[in-house]
A = this chain, B = another copy of it.
Amino acid sequence: MTGFDLGRREISIEEIEELARKYRTWGKWGADDELGSANFVTSKTIAAAAGLIRRGDSFALALPLGASGPQQGTGRVNPQRVTLVGASDPVPGYPRQGFTDDAVYMPLQCATQWDGLCHAFFDGETHNGRGVDSVTSRGGAQFNSITNFVGRATGRGVLLDIPRFLGRDSLAPGECIQADLLQACASAQEVEVGRADFVLVRTGHLADVRRSGSWGDYAGGSAPGLGVSAASFFCPREVTAVATDTWGVEVRPYETSKMIAPLHVVMLMNAGIYFGEMWDMESLAEDCARDGVYEFFLTAQPLSVTGAVGSPVTPIAIK
């Protein structure tokens, strides 16, 4: 497959702000809404998605949460599992018994995760016009916490396997997936992307990094990803979520030097579309390539950490 421009474009901040306004859903579900595109999820969409379970094959899309994770020294750390009670710790009065117990310290966005709608702010505002005081240090998100997604993070999943569509192993850092490529890939895979969908966009970057044997700058470095025009593919289709196998959904470096994470601003905080990051789609993608079926049942409930702005997640796709 050829003819797609994977180059980044330099986009003005005005253009991005215009897109943000255009796809903004603030107020669409009321002044108090904290769900955003999770509003598209209904009993009907869930029941329909259940119809996609045919063979019952289940694919877990989570990276291990441990020392082998992608955080390599800058910013967040990998999850730190620690021991509370060991196997040989005595149980007073019951010398034949033992009970193990452990704990974890972890940044909530350190591996396979959901971004909550309030992860991004622009001009002091986030989803539905909430100000910076809507996320305090003491309590975390007073509004728009990722916990609102609990119970609604279920529906039809669609995989757009970009490198396979292009006949390649993977996209390279800096290569950019625009709206036309998303559309062409969906058409070739014979899936239509629509309302309440959870769209998984595979770049092959995670597989690349894995093959290399080292995470390198996977967390926070250059990466393939969505270009800004992807917003005009996803937003009008009213999807609920978009996830990638990269650290931050978007192409890096970004398509503008005037702001960072422009798609987070347009799609996450303005359109209210949830972003999934660092999802491991490799075995799912192989299965889809095998049977040619790129849609499935998907469920990916956040942890219900009160006030959290993001959450680790163990997404499951079932075909």
Are A134 and B87 closer than 8 Å at their CB atoms?
Answer: yes
- How many copies of this kind of chain does the complex include? 4
- Does any Cβ of B come within 8 Å of A79's Cβ? yes
Q: Which residues of chain A from 91 to 145 have a CB within 8 Å of any chain B CB?
A: 91, 94, 96-109, 112, 118-124, 126, 132-138, 140-141
Interface size class of A (residues with CB under 8 A): 35 or more
- A86-B83, A147-B64 are known contacts. Are A303 and B309 too (CB-CB below 8 A)? no
Are B119 and A99 closer than 8 Å at their CB atoms?
Answer: yes
Q: Which residues of chain A from 41 to 58 have a CB within 8 Å of any chain B CB?
A: 42-50, 53-58
- Does any Cβ of B come within 8 Å of A27's Cβ? no
Are B66 and A55 closer than 8 Å at their CB atoms?
Answer: no
Task: Give the chain B neighbours of A44 by CB distance below 8 A.
Answer: 56
- Does any Cβ of B come within 8 Å of A80's Cβ? yes
Are A103 and B106 closer than 8 Å at their CB atoms?
Answer: yes
Task: Give the chain B neighbours of A49 by CB distance below 8 A.
Answer: 56
Closest residue on chain B to residue A54 by CB atoms: B47
- Does any Cβ of B come within 8 Å of A31's Cβ? no
- A83-B82, A89-B136, A96-B122 are known contacts. Are A43 and B57 too (CB-CB below 8 A)? yes
- 0/1 string, A229-259, CB within 8 A of B gives 1: 0000000000000000000000000000001
A residues adjacent to B (C-beta < 8 A): 42-50, 53-60, 62-68, 72-73, 76-77, 79-91, 94, 96-109, 112, 118-124, 126, 132-138, 140-141, 147, 150-152, 154, 259-261, 264-265, 297, 299, 301-310, 312, 314, 316, 318
Could you pull out 11 A-B pairs where Cβ atoms are within 8 angstroms?
A43-B58, A44-B56, A50-B56, A68-B306, A82-B83, A86-B135, A88-B88, A90-B133, A90-B136, A101-B109, A103-B108
